[in-house]
Structure 1
């Protein structure tokens, strides 16, 4: 099985398995964030965990080239896959498997949170850059299998999804032998507009709060999972903000004791 990386700049690397595992450990069921979310919907924690499992799915299609791997626009592919899973294919078969009632505002909020977890103020530019990546940029079944294999342990532990189940659901959502990034980007541009109008512009205040809690949880857990507690490097302002947020909302002991590592957020 090919190794999927969440960060790759040798000698510093982080595998997808490690990154997703740490992200899924960020918010316990008893955490303040989850309790707030559960007060809006009993599906909140499960959807947050599904978002954390898949938020970096798009990194699986980036090939190793030289000594540094860039993942610009990976969130576009991740968001497209989450959309296919919860809305665009099989009427949300993965939600049924996870025991979650399919509600369009909630599934739309999850898709938006995954799409916007990286650079929410620069999403369109990152989408356009990915669309122009070239002929190499294509999501294929081998990428899906590599990703499913890479996150099989945290998927089983946190969502009771076996590797075979996850791989089958992802392959069914892919729907064909391969999809060019330009096609994915065209679809995502349309999907983003539809969901933004549904969830943010036309949704109830509870739907907007639900979306913001998902987005905050994914952003904070993603960033926290990119940190190392062994580095003595000074914290950036954003890292300090994440630490403060985690201290108050994660329910994880010592959440604010981390230090920014050589692993930057990519």
Structure 2
């Protein structure tokens, strides 16, 4: 798949989860008949497609960290959402941005695009994004490892090609082409990504939330809730007898009522710390 081997969404040996498995499970978390998607579709016919695109991209940034995986050591992905949101913005708004939406049959819209990018940026720690952004920047300054290049993009596209094809009808080669086009150069350093992401976040928080319309806020909140719940559920092990955390219980209740997928709230989700 890549010169690094597997691309991971979670890595704390012996517990590991590949990006392919994580994205597949996340994309299976909501169906068209679920209450969240039905309400989102009433606001925008593109909602379900946008949600699936957000779920495909939400952990894209972890590809930067995967080459650092070492046997027997936990791998931390702190700040991965910064890189994920940056790439989502490049895909939707950057140079030749919007081609992926055209391919998915969605009309480009600044409000919808902004709501999705903001949801991806904030999906991991919605109240702690500035701190996560700062920590990624500080870590990147300590070495030259934190760079996003063409090999990273190719590795990610290959790792999620199956769920992308199944849920968005995007082939692996086509997804790779779109991501490489969005990257726009051979390599971008994480410090540059952090600087751009900080500006993107400030602009979108103002336009979508602070000065946004009821529609923009609703779209953002629905996309954020969907990505947070699906991401958390997809990261948890199946089976086992460990007690559930309160947050895990809340996610289970939320999915039971709003996912439209009968099996998504089953199983154990209490003893893996999401990173």
Which band: TM-score by shorter chain?
over 0.9
Residue 203 of structure 1, CA deviation: 1.6
State the SS of the aligned residue for 1:6: strand
Distance, in Å, in 2 between the alignment partners of 1:232 and 1:52 is 28
Residue 230 of structure 1, CA deviation: 1.3
Residue 204 of structure 1, CA deviation: 1.0
Structure 1 contact 226–264 (Cα < 8 Å) conserved:
no
Q: Which runs of 5+ in 2 are unaligned?
A: none
- Paired residue total: 266
TM-score under structure 1 length normalisation: 0.98
2:250 equivalent among 241, 253, 260: 241
The equivalent residue for 1:130 is 136
Residue 202 of structure 1, CA deviation: 1.8
Distance, in Å, in 2 between the alignment partners of 1:126 and 1:262 is 23
- Quickly say closer, same or farther: Cα 1:24–1:65, change in 2 above 3 A: closer
The equivalent residue for 1:101 is 107
Distance, in Å, in 1 between the alignment partners of 2:28 and 2:264 is 11
In the TM superposition, structure 1's runs of 4+ consecutive aligned residues that sit over 3 Å from their partners are none
State the SS of the aligned residue for 2:108: coil
Alignment of 1:25 onto 2:34: no
1:85 equivalent among 88, 91, 108: 91
Q: Which runs of 5+ in 1 are unaligned?
A: none
Distance, in Å, in 2 between the alignment partners of 1:256 and 1:173 is 35
1:222 equivalent among 220, 231, 254: 231
Distance, in Å, in 2 between the alignment partners of 1:59 and 1:110 is 19
2:179 equivalent among 155, 170, 189: 170
Q: CA RMSD for the aligned pairs?
A: 1.0
TM-score under structure 2 length normalisation: 0.94
